[in-house]
């Protein structure tokens, strides 16, 4: 629900209304334009009627928001959100590439890849320490030791680190050590985890679920924001379809659709989206042309020996050349 205030509304009147609504459990957000001031109410507004508010002489009108997502929607927040981490920005005209191996495997591996991707122009280093593997017998990640290695890589390169959390058990460690907390496709609808991570108020990278609709992705982001997150990045990483030629079907139309519905930055992961390293370049360039605010690309120094997702990982040399092409396409469309 959006409460449109009259231009002569007094700050004390607005404050009293805000407090009353907060006491009733609603999240109240200011929406300010050059000459307009509105209050957005998020929460279960089904018990509120416009007359609750229009009886105040400082309220002009009340708009009921139809979409089930409010904090993530553009109505409450018409301008693009910019997520900023250690001086690196994504969204609102800022483009950034997040790169690194699927899993942190050793100090030598992560430092070598971190240096290479930093030199090539990546803005963030990504590496999994806790891995959501389909088989319980596959490499599960180095766990907390992996986070320690990522911290060393951050210290050596200055790149902020992105890593996936799989359980609330590790909230404290992630809050302390990880710059952008990734919620993977398999946990996109783990609502308890979303709420817990939201409460940390840390930047979050939220990946689209394997079989989730765009609305479900936005509702998952709504959980994070209702919990307290303000810095959420959405990631299209491919969805399950009947097609078997690629690991997933990369839904590039999700980029303009998400950006029309939400103010949050949208990035694309062509590595998981296709499953093959040679498809990463064309899909990365297509994503940039389609308006993505960034990319997530898996890079490995020895893809053939990678403990996870080697077939879709590009080498550092390939990545460096790809970054040049990305810059070219970005410049051509902006």
- The secondary structure of 43-96 as a DSSP string is S-GGG--THHHHTSTTEEEEE---SS--SSBTTT--SPP-EEETTEEEBTTB-E
Could you tell which of ligand PEP, Mn ion, none binds residue 184, using a CB distance below 5 to 8 A set by kind?
A: ligand PEP
The minimum distance between CB 205 and ligand PEP, in angstroms, equals: 9
The minimum distance between CB 329 and ligand PEP, in angstroms, equals: 23
**Nearer CB in complex with ligand PEP: 59/268:** 268
**Nearer CB in complex with Mn ion: 105/309:** 309
**Nearer CB in complex with Mn ion: 196/269:** 269
Q: Which tokens go with 262?
A: 């939400």
Query: What does the angle CA 286 – CA 292 – CA 294 come to, to the nearest 5 degrees?
Result: 105
Nearest to 230 by CA among 85, 112, 108: 85
The minimum distance between CB 138 and ligand PEP, in angstroms, equals: 11
**Nearer CB in complex with Mn ion: 14/142:** 142
Residue 102 is a binding residue for Mn ion (CB under 5 A): yes
Give how far Cα 223 sits from Cα of 46, 189, 194, Å. 18, 9, 6
Pairing of strands 2-5, 37-42: antiparallel
Rounded to a whole number, what is the largest CA-CA distance in the chain?
69
The minimum distance between CB 290 and ligand PEP, in angstroms, equals: 19
**Nearer CB in complex with Mn ion: 184/203:** 184
Backbone angles phi, psi at 70, to 5 degrees: -120, -50
Could you tell which of ligand PEP, Mn ion, none binds residue 300, using a CB distance below 5 to 8 A set by kind?
A: none
C-beta nearest to Mn ion: residue: 102
Contact pick of 309, 313, 319, 326 for Mn ion (by CB under 5 A): 309
Please identify which residue in the block is written with the tokens 């982001």: 221
* Nearest-angstrom CA–CA distance, 207 and 11: 40
Could you tell which of Mn ion, ligand PEP, none binds residue 9, using a CB distance below 5 to 8 A set by kind?
A: none
**Nearer CB in complex with ligand PEP: 40/251:** 251
Residue 164 is a binding residue for Mn ion (CB under 5 A): no
C-beta nearest to ligand PEP: residue: 184
162 Ramachandran zone, left/alpha/beta (phi>0; psi -120 to 50): beta
Could you tell which of ligand PEP, Mn ion, none binds residue 68, using a CB distance below 5 to 8 A set by kind?
A: none
Binding site for ligand PEP (CB under 6 A): 102, 128, 132, 184-186, 207, 237, 272
* Nearest-angstrom CA–CA distance, 185 and 124: 19
Q: Which residues contribute to the site for Mn ion (CB under 5 A)? A: 102, 309
């Amino acid at each position: 629900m959006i409460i449109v205030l009259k231009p002569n509304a007094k700050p004390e009147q607005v404050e009293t209304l805000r407090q009353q609504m907060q006491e009733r459990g609603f999240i109240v957000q200011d929406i300010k334009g050059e000459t307009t001031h509105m209050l957005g109410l998020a929460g279960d507004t089904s018990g509120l009627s416009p007359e609750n508010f229009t009886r105040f002489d400082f309220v002009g009108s009340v708009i009921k928001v139809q979409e089930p997502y409010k904090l993530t929607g553009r109505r409450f927040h018409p301008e693009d959100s910019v997520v900023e981490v250690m001086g690196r920005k994504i969204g609102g005209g800022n483009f950034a590439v997040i790169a690194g191996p699927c899993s942190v495997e050793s100090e030598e591996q992560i430092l070598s890849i971190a240096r290479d991707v930093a030199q090539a122009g990546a803005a963030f280093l990504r590496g999994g320490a806790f891995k959501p593997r389909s088989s319980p017998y596959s490499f599960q990640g180095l766990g907390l030791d992996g986070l320690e290695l990522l911290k060393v890589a951050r210290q050596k390169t200055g790149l902020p680190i992105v890593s996936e959390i799989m359980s609330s058990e590790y909230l404290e460690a992630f809050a302390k050590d990880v710059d952008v907390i990734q919620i993977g496709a398999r946990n996109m609808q783990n609502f308890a985890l979303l709420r817990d991570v939201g409460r940390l108020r840390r930047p979050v990278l939220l990946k689209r679920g394997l079989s989730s609709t765009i609305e479900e992705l936005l509702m998952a982001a709504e959980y994070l924001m209702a919990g307290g997150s303000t810095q959420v990045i959405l990631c299209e990483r491919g969805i399950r379809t009947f097609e078997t030629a690629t690991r997933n079907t990369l839904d590039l139309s999700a980029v303009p659709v998400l950006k029309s519905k939400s103010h949050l930055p949208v990035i694309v992961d062509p590595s998981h989206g296709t499953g093959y390293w040679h498809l990463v370049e064309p899909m990365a360039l297509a994503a940039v042309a389609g308006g993505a605010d960034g990319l997530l690309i898996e890079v490995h120094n020895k893809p053939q020996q990678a403990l996870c997702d080697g077939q879709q990982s590009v080498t550092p040399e390939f990545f460096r050349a790809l970054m040049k092409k990305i810059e070219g396409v970005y410049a051509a469309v902006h």
